[in-house]
Structure formats: structure tokens, C-alpha cells
Amino acid sequence: MWMSGLLSNGFGATHGMMRNNLIWVVSRMHVQVDHYPIWGEVIEIDTWVGASGKNGMRRDWVIRSQASGSTYARATSTWVMMNEQTRRLSKMPDEVRDEISPWFIQKQAINEAVPDKIVKLGDKAKHVNSDLKPKRSDLDMNQHVNNVKYVRWMLETIPDKFLERHQLSSIILEYRRECGSSEVVQSLCQPDEDESFANGVQQNLLTNKVLVGGNGRLGSLDINVLTYGYTHLLQTQNEEIVRGRTRWNRKICTGL
């Protein structure tokens, strides 16, 4: 942005956005982790922007090993424009589109033809963490809760026993509204499957197999391919802040 001459306020706004009192806000983010790097490994990150519908912009990332070139993670995000004064979403003015469209690259880190919608959880979610209050260190320069804190609130609501045995393979976030420093937040999450099964899959470490029942028959399934999902919601006084979806794979045991 700086090299292109578009950066005008330090927040990625173009000159046309500044004239129209517009700022960027993220509406959606999707991260997929193929596998994790080891400590001390050198990685490289590619990032680029592209169009997202008529009034949005997409920013994608690819994280890979510098040594082997293998991909560790991919991510995509959707950004829309908000009027800084009214805090309402805005259409993209033609002058802003003319400023940014020459920099768009037509490739996607994650192919999302029709992104899945995340259902809203009700008050009867299996796991609930209430009375969450932002600290000063959780706020960004606009005095709103940083989106990294949202992820932490979501993950902290998942049972410790599950987290000990699984690692995150993907996360989708749908942002609904801003969260201020004085608000009290409630974090809800609901597992897709019975957690007693996920937590009870203590497989034979020699064979890495588990018996699975179905229609009265038993068979063996490689549990390394088993994935588990959670649906998440952060809200304040029943007003949504963020909806989320996480997917998890079993951690690979390396021995004791």
C-alpha cells in the first residue's frame, strides 16, 4: 500500500476513502492449517488482494516452508467499507474502486465458491463461558477488542480435555459488530458430535486404529483422518459479536 502511493492514514485507507470518511472493516476470515512448522523453522508468507463481490475486497495469505516450499497454512479474509462517523457499512465509491482494482490479483488461497453460513447458537449450547471482560491489553488503537482476543475467548470455552488431544485444523469467523472496552461478553460453543466419543478415542498407539460401529457392524478406521467440529458464538446481552466454526484433528502421538 505504501509503495503504491495509496496509503494515506496508516490504516490502509486510500485517498478516495479519506475523502468519503470510509475505513476498512473485516467481515469474515477463514484459516486452514495443513500442518504446523517446528520451532526455529524459517517460513515465508505471500499475501495479495482481490475483489470480493461489488463492494468488498479480499486479502489472502499462504504460509510455507522456506526450505521445502511445502504449505503450512492458507487464509482468506473479506473486507468491506464502513463510514467512520455513522459506523454503517457503505458501498464502494467508483473513485475508490478505480484506485484499488489495478492491484487486484485473480487467485484464491482458499477456494470458496459459496461460503458456508454459520448457524446461530441458542442459549442451550453445551459449553458457556460468561462474564468475560476485556482488559486494556485486549484493545486496539480504536479502543475495540482485538480480533485475536475473540479467538482466545472461543478456544477457552472448549473443554481442556479435548484441547489436550486435538489441534486446530481450520477456523472461520463471521464478524457482526464491534466490542467495546466496557462490555461483558458471553462465549458459547456447541460440538458437532458427541464429545464423549472424541475424548474417548484413546487408540492403540501401536496400530493407530479404533473400532467403529455402524449398522450393527464393526470395522477399523484410521483415526488420523477423524475431524471434530465446534460452532461458536460471542455475544453481549444477546447481541452478536462474532460467529465461528472450528475444525480439529487428533494430535499425532510421538511417544512418551
Q: Does the annotation count 189 as an active-site position?
A: no
Closest CA to 76 of 3, 147, 173: 173
Yes or no: say if 133 and 185 are a contact pair by the CB < 8 Å rule. Answer: yes
Catalytic residue among 15, 144, 147, 208: 144
Distance CA 24, CA 18 (A): 11
What SS3 class is residue 98?
helix
Closest CA to 192 of 146, 248, 112: 248
Q: Does the annotation count 238 as an active-site position?
A: no
Catalytic residue among 9, 83, 142, 224: 142
Q: Does the annotation count 146 as an active-site position?
A: no
Yes or no: say if 42 and 66 are a contact pair by the CB < 8 Å rule. Answer: yes
What SS3 class is residue 156?
helix
Distances (CA, A) of 118 to 175, 229, 246: 11, 12, 11
Catalytic residue among 179, 189, 232, 249: 179
Q: Which three cell numbers stand for residue 197?
A: 466419543
Distance CA 73, CA 64 (A): 7
Q: Which three cell numbers stand for residue 140?
A: 486496539
Active site amino acids: 142, 144, 179
